[in-house]
Amino acid sequence: MSPDGPLHRLDARVKLIAAVGFVVAVVALRPGSWRLLGGLAAILAVIVAASGVSPMRLLTRWLGFAVVVGFLAALTSRSLAERTGLSPALVVADLLARNSLAIVMMMVLAHVTPWTKLLGAMRRLGLPAALATTLAFMYRYLFVLRDELDRMTTARRARSFRRTGLSFGTLAGLIAALLSRALEREERVFEAMTARGWDGTLRTLDD
């Protein structure tokens, strides 16, 4: 990810704390505080503009979440409506709006902060080192395993005539094969790491 905006260069800890603080503020907001909500939305709009994220991309991703959130909001809206004196439709709108602010903020955070930087920030803010290292390791092999899966799917497709979809059994076999390959790879990687002096602590140049 190339640094293409002022937000990319900011210290990851600042970004993480600001983003999570923003989300907590949005979550803690009383339903129906439209003015405060508008203020937070304006702040978010400025941040989105500064981050250089394409608004179209935000919108399409947001739409996927909005359906589920709207459904859950509708399920719980009634008692919230009684408590706050708003109409159920307004309660749903309020929940959706606040959730959207939180989701867009986290999307922007993910866009302007590379995962390794984010992990480093979380570690310095108190995330247990073992968990941080596990997350770094997971991220490293996430795409490797995804590619492995793609290759296996392609190979399977190449061997089955005219069938666009694969059967449940085949797909489960694919997952089982992936599991077995992943654990084999882990063995090799762990042995290679041990040979290079791995003792369970990750040392990076940022330290």
Min CB(46)–another protein separation in Å: 20
Q: What tokens does 149 get? A: 């899966």
Residues 138-157 touching another protein, rule: CB under 8 A, are 138-142, 144-146, 148-149
Asked if 174 is part of the footprint of another protein (rule: CB under 8 A), the reply reads yes
Q: What is the largest CA-CA distance in the chain?
A: 66
Asked if 165 is part of the footprint of another protein (rule: CB under 8 A), the reply reads yes
Asked if 43 is part of the footprint of another protein (rule: CB under 8 A), the reply reads no
Residues 77-106 touching another protein, rule: CB under 8 A, are 77-80, 82, 88-89, 95, 98-99, 102-103, 106
Q: Is 163 helix (H, G, I), strand (E, B) or coil?
A: coil
CA distance 23 to 21: 5
Asked if 198 is part of the footprint of another protein (rule: CB under 8 A), the reply reads yes
Q: Is 166 helix (H, G, I), strand (E, B) or coil?
A: coil
Asked if 25 is part of the footprint of another protein (rule: CB under 8 A), the reply reads no
Asked if 175 is part of the footprint of another protein (rule: CB under 8 A), the reply reads yes
CA distance 99 to 91: 12
Considering beta carbons, is residue 76 or 154 the nearer one to another protein?
A: 76
Contacts of 110 (CB under 8 A, 6+ apart): none
Asked if 180 is part of the footprint of another protein (rule: CB under 8 A), the reply reads yes
Interacting residue with another protein among 4, 38, 59, 186 (CB under 8 A): 186
Q: What tokens does 69 get? A: 């959130």
Interacting residue with another protein among 69, 93, 117, 123 (CB under 8 A): 69
Residues near another protein (CB under 8 A), total: 78
Torsion of CA 199, 201, 202, 207, to 10 degrees: -130
CA distance 58 to 63: 9
Asked if 163 is part of the footprint of another protein (rule: CB under 8 A), the reply reads no
